[in-house]
Structure 1
Amino acid sequence: MTDPQTPPASGGRSAAAGHSSGVIATGDRARIEQRTLVVPPDALQAALHDEEIARLSNLPAPDSRVFMGREDALAVLRELPSTGTGIVAQSVRGMGGIGKSTLVLHHAHAYLAAGHGPVWWIEASSSAAVTAGLTSLATALNPVHAALPLDEAAAWAVTWLQGRTGWLLIFDNADEPTDLRPYLGRLSTGQVLVTTRRDLPWQDLGTPLRLETLTPETALAVLKEITGCGSDRDTAALAELTKELGHLPLALQQAGAYLAQTRNSATSYLVQLRADPAGVLAATAPGDPHQRTIAQLWSVTLSSMHNAEPHAVALLEVLAYCAPEPLPRHVLANSLPTQQAVDHALGVLAAYSMITLTDSTVTVHRLVQAVVRTTTPVAIPPPQSGAIRRLLRIFRSTRGPHPSESALQLLYAATPSGRPDETQSWPNWQALLPHIQAVSAYEYGAGTASQLATMLGQAAFYLWARGLAVEALPLEERALQISETALGPGHPETAVRLGNLAATFSSLGRHAQALPMKERALQVTETALGPHHPETGVRLGNLAATLSALGRHTKALPLEERALQVTEAALGPHHPSTALRLGNLAATLGALGRHAEALPMNERALQISETALGPHHPSTALRLGNLAATLSALGRHAKALPLEERALQVTEAALGPGHPETAVRLGNLAANLGALGRHAEALPMNERALQISETALGPHHPDTALRLSNLAATLSALDLHAEALPMNERALQISETALGPDHPDTALRLGNLAATLGALDRHAEALPMNERALQVIKASLGADHPETALRLGNLAANLGALGHHAEALPMKERALQVTETALGPDHPETAARLGNLAATLSALDRYAEALPMNERALQISETALGPDHPDTALRLSNLTVIRGLLADVAPDGPESSV
């Protein structure tokens, strides 16, 4: 089985300010090329009325079990203010099974009944679960948020809560303070309750409310109430049983439910409990004594259920290897011979209080799962020795599939059909993800392991499509590990896993780590499938994209040419993958300054994409942006502008306003506006693009450096050089750290910082930066590249500002020669070089030589940019000055005769 191909994101993405330009690069995550995502427009307010909001809740049903011994703790929660300014936050701490969730649930129902709301219950065992819980609140308030990226929908919910009072959020079973801090730090009103087993520094949550085990008297009262037993003999047996159970509320409830269900006596139950091999259970149960007593209790319960309801126990064993979060009931549809058997088994488990059952989900408490896993044959946690694994697999083969394997196969069968980047599949992937992660903690035979690797890869793809590459990374790493173990290092599927992991690294800006993976993926694919297979084309293109991202465009070019040749021969000239290869080859040519050659390739790629995928597909937006970038590089900014505007519109509609690709489109449109002299319009776009990149990719990503640099360029174009300076300094720091000191992007950052320093009259500080930028560009792109001409011109300008015009002159002459050869005699950059050379000649009092250069520069600008462009105005001003200077120095004519 082969995953959807993972071609690199491509295209020349140029940013320009004044006469500076550079390539805007994004990650090479291939699968972006083939997404079909449709997200509704933003909803800025809740779709519910105030009275509906006040009743809004996702609370579990009121707990009908006996609730005793928590009156004081409940009073503490009820005394928390429900309205007014300021947030009220409280943590409830204690070991698993102590009754934290039960206590908070009682309080929450009372809070809701008193007319406060909304009240929202969030499973908080991971950052992903917290985000998903807040996303579900956003969706409940307005269903359009179901199609938004998870983090954006969660942020919307927090923003909405900030404007109201009277609400209550419960973060249940929180493990890490860092999972909540990003949200709690932004809330300033309402009430927040956090239940947690961990004794960690939960800041801003007040004095923790600690729950301990029940007193012996209360524990006895609980069991008597549940069982209905009240005789002296029963009381003595029940008292002994409560002691054996450690007075733990969850254990008491479980024992009471068992006794009530089976009509067994407490004495008989106690005998069975003490006869159970506690040592074996304690050896694998979690570490505290109370959990061991629960393990003893539930092993007895399971043994009794096994005799009467073996199907229920078998189903519970499977559920024990899923996550302790709601599992869609449809996943279990084929777990037993008939749907009726499944429903019956679930009903039995619910009656024994072993699961929480709703009409759509099944949830098993993590302690129940831990105990159940101790009663089933051992699953293999990686890593273990190969000998032990082989012995255990032989043992399994004599008794049928292990429950963990059954859980995996049920999840595999339930994964959505189609591609994980299709919006309609996202709710299903969101519900299945924690369970896929849970079953991935074990090892399996080759066939099942291959299914797990595929499922993990698809789940990672889903996360990546939602802009969560950081969360996708460990899933890709595990998928590769499984493929290499189960299928071998030379299997084509292993190459797919390598390529996907490398693509995730690239999307995180870690291209150096991605490079050897992509090299190996190409080698494996070419050996296994042959040099002319479409997958070989994918691997060639992905490797070329990483080389380009590392500034090694010359090495990337023959790989891109071969990738196009292989793809076109295998799939045909009108296939979307052929459009991808054309676009990538055009991008590489553009990076090498060969824009005229890139133009027809980008035009053809757009035509293929629109025909094959439609005008509203994200890949079509990418093609539009690539064509616009090439037109801009050729100085045809007015023609590029509507293409950039349409590319942004399509991307934002398909991927959402917070997606990294939307930031790319915003940045490119802003660059185009800047090239047309419309810097004030470009400014808010660059600001928004930076915000998206920092949120989605992090503050240290190369794309964030690019966004900073573009914003600084716009500020400089608006004469806000002091504001631009720290942005350029930070952009340079990020590029040097992420890409290295010899990367072309680092040279671009050096040049931008030097330009800002020059604008602030700090020319001596700028000089070594311009010298280093020229050195880096010359080494990486060659002496005849337009970017080298730009660097020559910048260094010459720096020398001129320091009064070294004679040194600057040959550099400007060389810059004009390179630009005219590479871009043509009528390009706006050629006009810039002519104007710069004329300025140096004027500084050397060589006005007559400067005049025709200024005249030609004005002619080019008027034709390419129009008479109203700021650059045209500059050319006209320069020409006027030169003509005036020539008039001033002209020799006097002959005197007239009288």
Structure 2
Amino acid sequence: MKWPYRKQVEQTQAPEPVQPAAGADAGGDRSIAIAGDNYGIAQTGDHATAVTLPPEALRPAAEVDAPPGLDNLHNRPYHFVGRTHELDRLDAALATPGGAVVQAVHGLGGIGKSALAAHWAATRAHGCAPVRWINADSEAAVQQGLADLATALQPALAHALPVEKLAERALQWLATHTGWLLVLDNVNDPADIASLTQGPATGRLLITSRLSTTWSHATTVVRLDVLSPEEALDLLTRITTAAGPRNLDGAAELCAELGHLPLAIEQAAAYLVENQLTTPTPRAYLDLLAQYPADMYREGAVGTAPERTIARVWRLTLDRITTLHPLAGDLLRTLAWYAPDRIPLMLLDDFAPAPARNKAIGLLTAYSVITPDPDTGSLTIHRLVQALARTPDPDDPHRTADAIDQARDRATTYLGTVLPADEGDPATWPTWRALLPHADSLADHTVEDTDTAATSVILNRAGLFLIDQGLPARAIRHLERALASGERTLGPDHPNTLASKNNVASAYWSAGDLGRALPLLEQALTTRMRVLGPNHVDTLTARSNLAAAYRSAGDLSRAIPLHEQTLTERMELLGSDHQDTLASQNHLAGAYESAGDLTRAISLHEQTLTARMRVLGPDHPETLASQNNLAGAYESAGDLDRAIPLYEQALVDSERVLGPDHPGTLTKRSNLAVAHGSAGDLDQAIPLHERTLTERLRVLGPDHPETLISRNNLAYAYGSAGDLAQAIRLYEQNLTERLRVLGPDHPDTLTSRSNLAYAYGSVGDLDRAIPLHEQALTDRLRVLGPEHPETLVSRAHLAGAHESAGDLDRAIPLYERALADSERVLGPDHPDTLVSRIQLGYAYESAGDLDRAIPLYERALADSERVLGPDHPDTLASRANLADAYESAGDLARAIPLHERALGDSERVLGPDHPLTVLIRGDLAAHDGEGQSKQS
């Protein structure tokens, strides 16, 4: 039997309101409440439709039971992995005492909030029934979702009541029943669900929302973050291999590029499934993403709702945010150019007046687009949000090309404004380290054609900071681009361009690549002479830098005349007391020292120190540097009685003036430790080396070249103390670190290989020592050239290893060539030449050829006394070696007095416990010549 109904019944006036029976509740004026005798005809307002309903449709809400099949989760397809912790937190809310439980899951669009809610509701033992899913992105959507619940409970009401009355009917039902669960998905405004959150506490609400700051009433708030790398890879794999095996080359890299964001991974996986011919692997998708980012961000699989793509999801979010505050969109596009983590708020000081800026930050925070960190005063943003915000799309009003260009230039200007004044001042390093990732990101995500003058300044200064931090490989990338931009925008002859060329050369120099550094420095000098003239201060600086590079390359024949010329011209142009003039004196003194001309080196270092004390004062950093350099020259001359007190004074002054952690202070502590080692005082040397290494690890980091130098020096000290096992361990570690940090061809890496080979030889492990010496020599010949002093040292070390192996047929020719090269390249009086002469003499002696050994020893002693002085440690060693040779020749009349003199001098100069003194004492006691050990 059909129940009659009347359609479009007009009322001339509103009927008298019907009072609901006890237990029924109508939600507002003229709301419908069905109870008692009020059934059969339902009228719902002025000019309303009168509907005749069956009696069962008119029962009070409290008497309506949930019919089977009321759940609607089956309409929510989703992919799900991981999230164990978040699921457990939602489970834990069940134990909360009281009535209704409100749970809120918030996070960035596409983060997987809906998937988490659906998975929890469908699979966990929450015990709720019925379970209804409501799209809650607007007030109208919430109302429709409640209306759908009412009609699912009582289908006969579907045509009887308008949506708003159906929603009120659903609220009545919820208020009179317990155990239900509503999933309110994608809430944009808490006011849209106020009728549920502020209603009777009889069931459970699970809310998902991008909003993060409005859920204080919830008993459990879960902030959802991206998947772990393993979970992201699992999600991509599940989707792409659902129909069978698949080539997943590049899968982990793709997940990382997508920032492990679930929606982005689902979108990419669906594309891979549908385009197996044109996009067979995740790596192929990565290539498409790099070439066509705008298209790929908005491309979903066939059948995927457009609003479920990354581009659409975030566009809807920005639509709402920019409606509330237009500056929020500008802020997001600006943040897109920086690194995703730890974006300092100071970068936004000039973005807008504080109230407007703070409102924009607050909105982006509220919608989970950015995350503030109060502890660091910084912001974090998802890298894929940044990538999208940097990518122009003509179909997206938030990503027009002009808006993105403006944001890029704005981000560049802000970064340039906050860079610290002096990248070499350790006090600025914390700020530099905080800003450097953002300079790197700006460089990574812009192209040279868009560089402005501000970009060039940022890259140039970041490069200089990286050089100072011992990271020349990273510096080169920034400095080369700054140079290219300067040449394009300013021209090749502009002073800034020439400065950039000098900086690129400095980076190559620091990286040990003098083959590329020297031509750039030569070009810079030539250009400055042409453009600025030969006597311009910048020309003199260019000449000084080139001279220093020649010295590093071991080309002292070109370095010294250039340094001398620069000093002369600076004295004429600037005066003898100018800082640049004093710097030239310091450089020239160092070059003399490298050439073995210690008399002139010491004299010039003494003059420089005196002048700096007078002009700059005793506490100026350059004065402290001169103290250190003069002490080093005294040490090179073997005058440790003057070197060590001066090192100690320089260290005390540096600790007081610069602080105990300043890199200059650490250098002075390291040098003092080396000097104590040279004096044979290893009880002082080793603790100083250990302390320096510890502090450099803390201050400079484990990869800084000076940290690696400290480890090398500590290894040498352990070796000198006889702890060769510890020395070898440190040498091996240092070689590994230098290979990783500096590369296989850096001069310091080659030194590490040579030192390790020498240590292996010291413990008799010649099977490892000789190949390593051979590799060191081959590499130095290739990298440094045949005439570099370190190449000559490598040849002598290889000769020594062959000698230790008893292979004098190989050792002697190598020693002979090493001596000939040293005499030709360094000169006959260079300390290294004197050492080479002694080494060859010892090899002759080992071969039983005393007729050639003794004249070499005699010349070596005479030259040492003349060049180094009678008390230099090398002179004392030469005297002992000659005494041994006389003894081997049976000439005790000359041997014993010479041994006695050598012992007396060594005890007087070095002390009775110095290793050389102990060695000479043993030689004197062994008149038969057995057990002798030459010191060379």
TM bucket, shorter chain:
0.5 to 0.7
- CA change 1:568–1:71 in 2 (3 A) is same
Larger-Rg structure: 2
Aligned: 1:310 with 2:329: no
Matches within 5 A, 1:126-275: 199-200=251-252
- CA change 1:786–1:362 in 2 (3 A) is closer
Contact 1:449/1:483 (CA < 8 Å) preserved in 2? no
- CA change 1:68–1:622 in 2 (3 A) is farther
1:342 to 353, 357, 369: 357
The letter for the 2-side match of 1:799 is Y
The letter for the 2-side match of 1:556 is A
- CA change 1:316–1:583 in 2 (3 A) is same
| 1:452 aligned partner | 455
CA distance in 1 between partners of 2:506 and 2:113 (Å): 41
The letter for the 2-side match of 1:505 is Y
C-alpha distance after superposition, 1:101-135 (max 9, x if no partner): 9999999xxxxxxxxxxxxxxxxxxxxxxxxxxxx
1:495 to 493, 498, 503: 498
1:405 to 386, 409, 413: 409
C-alpha distance after superposition, 1:790-834 (max 9, x if no partner): 212212221221122223344334434443432234433233334
Aligned: 1:469 with 2:472: yes
CA distance in 1 between partners of 2:592 and 2:724 (Å): 27
C-alpha distance after superposition, 1:223-248 (max 9, x if no partner): xxxxxxxxxxxxxxxxxxxx99x99x
C-alpha deviation, 1:615, in angstroms = 8.1
What is the SS of the residue equivalent to 1:73? coil
CA distance in 1 between partners of 2:118 and 2:625 (Å): 52
Aligned: 1:783 with 2:828: yes
Matches within 5 A, 1:414-425: 414-416=418-420, 418-425=421-428
| 2:793 aligned partner | 748
Specify which structure has the bigger relative contact order, considering alpha-carbon pairs within 8 angstroms and separated by 6 or more residues.
1
What is the SS of the residue equivalent to 1:342? helix
| 1:12 aligned partner | none
| 1:327 aligned partner | 343
Aligned: 1:774 with 2:819: yes
C-alpha distance after superposition, 1:293-317 (max 9, x if no partner): 4335545665676676433333333
Contact 2:880/2:920 (CA < 8 Å) preserved in 1? yes
Contact 2:715/2:731 (CA < 8 Å) preserved in 1? no
1:361 to 378, 389, 406: 378
| 1:542 aligned partner | 545
- CA change 1:201–1:832 in 2 (3 A) is same
Contact 1:173/1:197 (CA < 8 Å) preserved in 2? no
CA distance in 2 between partners of 1:704 and 1:355 (Å): 43
C-alpha deviation, 1:531, in angstroms = 3.4
Gaps of 5+ in 1: 1-66, 80-95, 108-168, 178-195, 217-242, 248-278, 379-394, 886-898
Q: CA RMSD in A?
A: 5.2
Contact 2:567/2:581 (CA < 8 Å) preserved in 1? yes
CA distance in 1 between partners of 2:807 and 2:113 (Å): 63
The letter for the 1-side match of 2:354 is Q
- CA change 1:877–1:358 in 2 (3 A) is closer
C-alpha deviation, 1:845, in angstroms = 4.5
Gaps of 5+ in 2: 1-75, 89-107, 120-224, 234-247, 275-288, 396-400, 652-665, 671-691, 931-936
| 1:558 aligned partner | 561
CA distance in 2 between partners of 1:525 and 1:791 (Å): 42
Report which stretch shifted further, 651-660 or 833-842: 651-660
Contact 1:554/1:592 (CA < 8 Å) preserved in 2? no
Report which stretch shifted further, 614-623 or 746-755: 614-623
C-alpha distance after superposition, 1:240-281 (max 9, x if no partner): xxx99x99xxxxxxxxxxxxxxxxxxxxxxxxxxxxxxx9x9
Contact 1:663/1:688 (CA < 8 Å) preserved in 2? no
- CA change 1:213–1:786 in 2 (3 A) is closer
C-alpha deviation, 1:579, in angstroms = 5.0
TM-score with structure 2 length normalisation?
A: 0.57
What is the SS of the residue equivalent to 1:437? helix
The letter for the 1-side match of 2:384 is L
| 1:442 aligned partner | 446
Aligned: 1:679 with 2:729: no
- CA change 1:723–1:615 in 2 (3 A) is farther
The letter for the 1-side match of 2:419 is T
CA distance in 1 between partners of 2:226 and 2:778 (Å): 41
C-alpha deviation, 1:737, in angstroms = 4.4
| 1:74 aligned partner | 83
Aligned: 1:832 with 2:847: no
CA distance in 1 between partners of 2:721 and 2:727 (Å): 10
| 1:143 aligned partner | none
Report which stretch shifted further, 866-875 or 791-800: 866-875
- CA change 1:414–1:827 in 2 (3 A) is closer
CA distance in 2 between partners of 1:703 and 1:597 (Å): 28
C-alpha deviation, 1:713, in angstroms = 5.7
The letter for the 2-side match of 1:289 is E
- CA change 1:744–1:199 in 2 (3 A) is same
C-alpha deviation, 1:515, in angstroms = 0.9
C-alpha distance after superposition, 1:754-799 (max 9, x if no partner): 2244344343332233233223323321234232222122122212
| 1:695 aligned partner | 737
Report which stretch shifted further, 354-363 or 539-548: 354-363
| 1:157 aligned partner | none
C-alpha deviation, 1:614, in angstroms = 8.7
CA distance in 2 between partners of 1:479 and 1:300 (Å): 39
The letter for the 2-side match of 1:341 is A
Aligned: 1:509 with 2:512: yes
CA distance in 1 between partners of 2:83 and 2:929 (Å): 89
C-alpha deviation, 1:518, in angstroms = 1.4
Query: Aligned residues, how many?
Result: 638
CA distance in 1 between partners of 2:632 and 2:611 (Å): 18
What is the SS of the residue equivalent to 2:787? coil
Contact 1:693/1:704 (CA < 8 Å) preserved in 2? yes
Aligned: 1:587 with 2:590: yes
| 2:521 aligned partner | 518
Matches within 5 A, 1:697-776: 697-698=741-742, 700=744, 701-707=746-752, 709=754, 728=773, 731-732=776-777, 734-776=779-821
CA distance in 2 between partners of 1:459 and 1:285 (Å): 34
CA distance in 1 between partners of 2:929 and 2:371 (Å): 89
Contact 2:109/2:314 (CA < 8 Å) preserved in 1? no
The letter for the 1-side match of 2:476 is L
- CA change 1:497–1:295 in 2 (3 A) is same
TM-score with structure 1 length normalisation?
A: 0.60
- CA change 1:650–1:574 in 2 (3 A) is farther
| 2:430 aligned partner | 427
| 1:371 aligned partner | 388
What is the SS of the residue equivalent to 1:402? helix
- CA change 1:663–1:373 in 2 (3 A) is closer
Contact 1:680/1:718 (CA < 8 Å) preserved in 2? no
The letter for the 1-side match of 2:414 is L
The letter for the 2-side match of 1:320 is A
- CA change 1:521–1:690 in 2 (3 A) is farther
C-alpha distance after superposition, 1:301-335 (max 9, x if no partner): 65676676433333333333333334222212212
Contact 1:537/1:562 (CA < 8 Å) preserved in 2? no
- CA change 1:504–1:445 in 2 (3 A) is closer
What is the SS of the residue equivalent to 1:321? coil
The letter for the 1-side match of 2:337 is Y
The letter for the 2-side match of 1:584 is H
Contact 1:662/1:689 (CA < 8 Å) preserved in 2? no
C-alpha deviation, 1:412, in angstroms = 0.9
- CA change 1:326–1:881 in 2 (3 A) is closer
CA distance in 1 between partners of 2:455 and 2:371 (Å): 27
C-alpha deviation, 1:287, in angstroms = 7.2
- CA change 1:459–1:586 in 2 (3 A) is same
